[in-house]
Each structure stands twice: as structure tokens, then as C-alpha cells.
Amino acid sequence: MATDDYGQTITIPDLTSQPDIRVVMTAVQQVLRRSVLSFSSASSRNATLVSPVEGMMAWLQDTNTMTQYDGSTWRTVLNGGTWTSYTPSWTATTTNPVLGNGSLAGRYSRVGAMVDFAIKVTAGSTTTFGSGPWSFSLPFAAASVIDMIGNVMVGDSSAGTSGYSSGAAYIADGGNTVSPYAGGKADMAIVSSLHPQTWGNGDRLWITGRYEAV
């Protein structure tokens, strides 16, 4: 019997081969293994493909993402630039802030190991700001390779058009959170209830960045 012309070791019965439906079905299974399979969700994929083969690709219908098995885990390889909402956790080192009637939103887009994300906080009249430096949870843990830096902007609603400061978003290698820093060149510090302003109703914080995920 011959094999396919593309080096995938798929057995193709010859015209002179003895009829054997098992050989044909084996060839069909080999073709399926190398095609893009479709599942309703990651859990459905995992329940069906209990022994995936490296290089397998599967489309997840619930998240509209393409995944590929790298030999040890399924990784997202393409999502067409689709952005997905998530709710970050807002914490501080001493006392956690309480969102109250404020708003906290997060969005991310992942292609392979590359993650773009955006976070926005708008304080409400019942928001409390905790104590100690702030941090926000990432949509995925960062890879343990190198620290990553993003962008931060802070808006002080009581100061009008002059009430803005900027800074950097710090993601430690292997970390699960992003820490916002704001201020001038010589006085940049991590954002907290006391920095870079006294926070109040209507104040805003934006964090954006890109990092390598696990």
C-alpha cells in the first residue's frame, strides 16, 4: 500500500489491495486527526480527545477560538482579533478597595501566547479605595521569561482638563497581576489611595498593555 503525497504517513490502499474496510477507516481517522475539528467548548474537546496528538487543531464554538495541541497542552493560536470581556480583581496590599457603585471593566484579546488587555476603573460615590499599593488581576498568568511594561493614565475629575497623570503598568515575569505606576520622571510611584491624588467620585484609571502569557 502507498502513503499520501504530503509526508503525513496516511495509508492509501492500492487498486490491487485486498478489500479491507478497517484499512479504509484507519485512513479516514488519520485524515480527521490532521484536520480542524470543531467542539462546542474546551471541556467538550478535552472529553472527546482524551489522548490528543501533537499538532492537532480544534475550533471552540463558544469562544470562537482556534486551539492547537503542542504535545503537552492546548494553546490558543488564532482568534481573529476578537476581544473578550473579563472582570479584573482590584486589590491592595493592606486593605482592598471596594468598588461600590463605581465600575470596573476589563477586555483582552489573545493570539497564541500574546495577550493584549485593557482595564478601566471609574470611581463612584460609594467606592472606597483601600490602603496600600493597588494591583489588578490579568486575564492569564504571565510567562516566566521577562518583566513586561504597559501604559497607565489617571484622571482626576475634580481637576478638570488639567487633572491627568500618566505612567507605566508593570507585569512581573510569571505574575498574575498588573501594578499601575503614575507620576513624573523622578517621582513615579505605584498607584494607591494616596497617589497620585486623593481619589473621589468620578476619578478614573486606565491600564493597557501586551504581554506573553503561559
**Domain boundaries, given as residue ranges, for the chain:** 2-78, 84-212
How many CB atoms lie under 10 A from the CB of residue 130?
19
| Range with the poorest average pLDDT among 1-15, 104-118, 173-187 | 1-15
Question: Could you give the 3-state DSSP secondary structure of residue 186?
Answer: coil
Starting at the earlier edge strand, list the strands of the sheet with 57-60.
36-39, 57-60, 65-69, 74-78
pLDDT beyond 80 at 197: yes
pLDDT beyond 60 at 180: yes
Binning pLDDT at 50, 70 and 90, where does residue 16 land?
A: confident
More confident site: 195 or 30: 195
Domain pair 2-78 / 84-212, same fold? no
Binning pLDDT at 50, 70 and 90, where does residue 38 land?
A: confident
- Mean pLDDT score across all residues of the chain: 89
Q: Distance between CA 171 and CA 89 in Å, rounded?
A: 15
Q: Provide the greatest CA pair distance for the chain.
A: 86
| Range with the poorest average pLDDT among 50-54, 186-190, 207-211 | 186-190
Binning pLDDT at 50, 70 and 90, where does residue 46 land?
A: very high
Q: Distance between CA 170 and CA 31 in Å, rounded?
A: 45
Contacting residues for 213 by C-beta, under 8 A, at least 6 apart: 110, 113, 114, 115, 138, 140, 141, 142, 143
Is this model's pTM higher than 0.85 or not?
Answer: no
Q: Which CATH number fits domain 84-212: 1.10.10, 2.60.90, 2.60.40, 2.160.20?
A: 2.60.90
pLDDT value of position 137: 98
Q: Distance between CA 157 and CA 22 in Å, rounded?
A: 72
pLDDT beyond 70 at 179: yes
Q: Distance between CA 195 and CA 143 in Å, rounded?
A: 29
pLDDT value of position 208: 98
**Domain 2-78 classification at class level:** alpha beta
pLDDT value of position 185: 67
What is the rounded (10 degree) CA torsion for 138, 144, 146, 147?
30
| pLDDT tens, residue by residue, 50-89 | 999 898 899 898 988 889 999 999 988 865 567 899 999 9
